[in-house]
Chain A
Amino acid sequence: MNEILEILEKDARTTPEEIARMTGIAPAAVRKEIKKLEKDGVILKYKAIVNKEISREDDSGVRALIEVRITPQKNLGFEHVAERIYQFPEVTSCYLMSGAYDLLVVVEGKSIHTVSNFVAEKLSPMENVRGTVTHFILKKYKEDGDILKQPERSKRPAITL
């Protein structure tokens, strides 16, 4: 795996100079490689991982996982319907699944009410959507490899030989 990517995936703030030191690659070459990764769309963007469980924003809202069953369209498959769904800003993730349903859609809204409205008014009536099952998320423990908890203090003694 590309080591520069691995470092940036752990901490996107690592500067090209620091990456150069960590890997022994020249700083100019690191900068060039990052530019290329960005240009090729391998690196899409850099953003902070916010723990909404403790961000204390009252409107941090609710999330639901929605199973969506759809009728595939001739020549278009699931692609076209998926696109119509994921363009909505309320949709934060959208996956094509194997198994009992077709799309797994993650929707975020201010309240249960807003999410329900979205499902009832936008998703369900959509042509080719055969049915939906909505699951509200009660608490998040871990997301994309990050445990959503304040990191604990180190338990090691400060000095040992």
Chain B
Amino acid sequence: MNGGRHDVVVVGAGIVGAACAYEFARRGLRVAIVDREMVGGGATAAGMGHIVVMDDSEAQFALTRYSQTLWQDLRSELPTDVEYDRCGTIWVAADDEEMAEVRSKHEYYGKRGVPTEVLDSPSLQRLEPNLRPMAGGLLVSEDAVLYAPCAARFLIERAQEHGADLILGSPVTQMGQGKAELADGSRFTAKFVVNAAGACSPQLTPGLEVRKRKGHLVITDRYPGFIRHQLVELGYLKSASALHKDSVAFNVQPRRTGQVLIGSSRQYGAEHEEVDHEILSRMLTRAEEYMPGLAQVSSIRAWTGFRAATPDKLPLIGPWPGDESLFLATGHEGLGITTSLATGVLLADQIAGRKSQIAIDPYLPSRMAEVVAHGK
């Protein structure tokens, strides 16, 4: 069977693949999007959907901030089921040491034009009375929350309006050298093929240094107004960047539905998708420590998902050395929903040979090849 000829074939209809397809199609390329299952059913269905500016590194900041502004630009077009809500983030400081971190974060963001506000203990308490008394926090008011599976569907529908083809239900078994082959025997040829298969991307591109990093989440019944902002403990930064240990952090999110989404955990080496009760218990205990009232709230479901993690915690966006037709859009770890739109734009720029609005070097896959070459 012949899937036909396209300019670009995108493998993976998660939020990242969807954003790429959207951007390519908008720019007039003939696009096919292929997924083994459905739109937005992978990590995209599991993630929290926090659109958040992060400052772990200069490159991480640039990408998250750039992508956040792209989401803001798109905001008026997003259908209601995308549940876009600019609720803001509050980084919660438990003690004076973390308060010092609040102030340096405030300064860092301020210098780069991101509005933030330092909250002392009483103002934090007024904003979020269900938090136990804390030292204070940092409000980042432009951060937002959305529902990623519907966002992915929206982006793909837009791509389809620009002529993109969506092919669901059969896995890609092989891609590269200008083609993608599906298990059902069909075959797509294109000038470019994009591996946007998330945590499964190494299966399609051997040698790719992407590992699964498992996360757990719990959703509650509806309690409108229980919290108003995405609340994250400052310790989260330590926990998220600890590369080797299992970690949990207080990270809760208000949903448009009035539900509270409780996170989060990070584990390496756990490949099965079952809920790990021990981690769940640690994660919820942590949440109760910050918000005692959560203990009595009704929880309706727990689930897990896999982040696609790279060694340097930055995504892989660009050509894969050794195959001119093969591009990567993967390795987004815990930020792929945030950074999906920017990923699409950066990749489309590269394909068109255009200069991007932000420096792309930190995200180029060739950096991994260099690491290997230098024997590190």
A binds B: no
B contacts, CB < 8 Å to A: none
